[in-house]
A and B are shown apart, each in its own frame.
Chain A
């Protein structure tokens, strides 16, 4: 055996040894539970006696697919994801462009905008719930004082408004994350390009359109991917604001409801497997579009 060969084997053995805790932990908390969830989705098990089950084939999947409440949840989730990720990206890009410029106290401002992001989602929800309260909330008081409305709007109770309220809160919470990632992307663009463009008299909007935007696209794309996948599994915001109100119910809330509230392990597992498949499909499509496979290599 050559020295190089021995070295390669040694590295392989060490690598497996160092990766063992990670593999054991991830099999225990992710891969095995995922496999069991998929397994249970083919059974009629209940949560109080999971060992007592029979196989029912695709029945659970069909029951979920025939439930209009599930499709309502899917629709809510998709609408929420598209609108809030879209708004966050635009707002994030605007704020990042602003904070990218030199001004006194830039470091402090960049730190300060982390505040909404560092808070627990539950806390942000509660704060906005209070500010948007129909009778005593600050927002309605402002609107009434300014004469924009006659009496307070029930932002968190009105069925036609509540999903927009959820989107509004989510945009507030996650815009800082977008700003940071886009800002990091902007900082990678060499200053010389702008100087050259300025010297040749390229107007501002055109510098933005043909230099900033294309060069920041990878950062924006990655940020959007993260946020989209996160938004698709959203649970806490809707749950705290409106529990299982059908107007804001997300796919995750629906699946957990079947599983925990109705104790139906089989049906709940099928619902969460549906969620997994839907999110997986969307992830594949986005990654394909972004060609992220090249970027991670």
Chain B
């Protein structure tokens, strides 16, 4: 079998090989270009549309028209700016809390010989697949007891159900991959566990913490269901809900130019962060899953 294929392959002349290789290379780049257009064009079109207003919005032109009226209106809209601040605060706070709790838990689950650890880890994984709607009624009550209803801090609390299992799981798998020698040396020297964690492990975990934190921030920044349900008034809303509820005074006055400006604004900070940290993000996304 091997012999015959090798023999038939020899039939081609060198120039045919070159042509085949060229066609293959061309096909590869054409495919990559198609993928890029498919993935990026919608966002580009949102940018183009966001710089148009009035009649221009309905004209088919692939170039932006540099009319920043939509952005000007958006940045002078106190509700939208408030939503931007709320989103930032909520996502930042829930990420920070999740990272602190997650790092502590990951140390216990990844390093200490602790038999219930496996059960806890499985429970954490199961919580991350809860349909969020199933905790809605109970969470309503918890938020009521805490007196947080219709406050952005209600979201900080409720987002822990999304971000905490995630950070715990990824950081645990990361800690397991770190070499143990340094810690053992520190323990023999009489360091406490907490000191080992903060002085030996934490400096090594910088990249993992950055990527996990960023992913958890994105998760919280993009959340919709809780933000829609636990916040009643416009000034306390987060950005996805503000965009989700943005409508014109009638069906024919749908403010697409403004919606696109808002969409671009909300996505831009995430995209910048994602592009800067892309290697770490990919590592974070895949470490928990594929290594398994």
Q: Is the interface of B mostly helix, strand, loop or mixed?
A: helix
Knowing A19-B109, A22-B102 are in contact, say whether A112-B292 is a contact too (CB < 8 A): no
Knowing A120-B224, A256-B229 are in contact, say whether A201-B290 is a contact too (CB < 8 A): no
CB <8 Å contact, A22 and B270: no
Interface residues of A (CB under 8 A from B): 8, 11-12, 14-16, 18-19, 21-23, 25-26, 28-37, 40, 47, 50, 95, 98-99, 101, 103, 107, 109-116, 118-128, 130-131, 133, 136, 138, 141, 172, 175-177, 180-181, 184-185, 188, 199-201, 203, 218-219, 222-223, 226, 229, 232-233, 235-236, 239-240, 251-252, 255-256, 259-260, 265, 268-269, 272-273, 275-276, 279, 283, 292, 295-296
CB-CB under 8 A from B161, the residues of chain A are 26, 29-30
CB <8 Å contact, B285 and A255: no
CB <8 Å contact, B104 and A235: no
Q: Is the interface of A mostly helix, strand, loop or mixed?
A: helix
CB-CB under 8 A from B260, the residues of chain A are 126-127, 130
CB <8 Å contact, B256 and A33: no
CB-CB under 8 A from B182, the residues of chain A are none
In the assembled complex, B17 has its CB within 8 A of some CB on chain A: no
CB <8 Å contact, B132 and A219: no
CB <8 Å contact, A252 and B133: yes
CB <8 Å contact, B136 and A256: yes
CB <8 Å contact, B132 and A235: yes
Contacts A/B (CB < 8 Å), 24 sampled? A21-B101, A22-B168, A29-B135, A29-B160, A33-B135, A34-B138, A98-B31, A112-B39, A118-B267, A119-B263, A122-B240, A122-B241, A126-B263, A127-B46, A188-B290, A199-B2, A201-B1, A201-B5, A218-B292, A222-B289, A226-B289, A235-B133, A236-B240, A256-B229
CB-CB under 8 A from B39, the residues of chain A are 112-113, 115-116, 172, 175-176
Knowing A103-B28, A123-B266, A201-B2 are in contact, say whether A235-B135 is a contact too (CB < 8 A): no
CB <8 Å contact, B1 and A181: no
Whose C-beta in chain B lies nearest to the C-beta of A22? B105
CB <8 Å contact, A200 and B2: yes
Knowing A120-B266, A127-B43, A272-B136 are in contact, say whether A14-B2 is a contact too (CB < 8 A): no
CB <8 Å contact, A19 and B105: yes
A185 to B290, CA, bound (A): 6
